[in-house]
Chain A
């Protein structure tokens, strides 16, 4: 068990393993995404309240739900960095931050577009949108801190501390924002909750899309982590060999 753990920390091991994984991940993403998009765009029936704009949900909800997973993931990676000094964990943490910012940004943008239809305005200080916005700021803070510190080692630890502090704060922020807004205006009778009174033909494609976007998230994370591994290990022999093997780039 500990051998496995030690192996996991080795960037080279991860790099070579991900070589084998990536084709399968690409394939499954392609299949899931095609099914999901086809279903969402062509087959899902019109919603009696929202009409065709129900199709926005199939992008917004998967992206938003995965954006919520990024900060905890970064905090876990940060904890591993601080406790076991595992290099790979920090590379993952570094790669999650921009991806998390992208996911949160897209969730905000699609939420705003959807909001124009639901609330008749591009931006509302809706609890969910607001807490996403603050989470977006937190990601920007982590990225800014990382780029401000020159030493890789110090940056890794500093970002790990910030990620843990942020991850403790994210639920508090979310809770306080929910509480702040729900007292102001009664919760709108439109529920964004996808699995409430809706029939399976609405939520099954949503599930497919969530899986597809999750796989996409994994691919994006692995690709960035691989680049980070190459960059940081560029002086080790296996990377030099790898560069030599690589033809016509």
Chain B
């Protein structure tokens, strides 16, 4: 008997069930199809302005910084400002995301690189698939548009959130993923990111920038 068969037999023996048990199969199929939503905290919910305020305060609570700009075309200037004020090199890498590519980078003095990171980039910008007000969380999906390596290898990570993509809770993110990728399917990687990387492994002292970015700067585009 293969390991697989024996494990399934052992589970069914312990549960005192047979392999063909229509009511059990129906219960499982129903749950997988319906994916019921459980208890959702009130915290992330409210009018758009309220949600944005919650997102901002929750993100800042976990040591991210948040800036709001009116238009997509304001993003390069905001990133340039942040780099300058923090004495960081004027370099930036991003993927194929059209919304990012269409921004007026030429108007800045930034040295732009494109594509996934090989580990020697200091700064990168990604566009978020969504953002979650309840916990100040960013959601990024893998692909050529926003390569996953950009979320982890650079020291300073910028993430652009379009206000329309700000949702109340993780359940709303899953609903959007289902709408975009189909039921029961996901992109290779979905990253929920809540603040910059950290570790408390040395005597429980909180230190930022363990293996991932030391700084996480979120730029929310209102329009």
- Indicate whether A and B interact: no
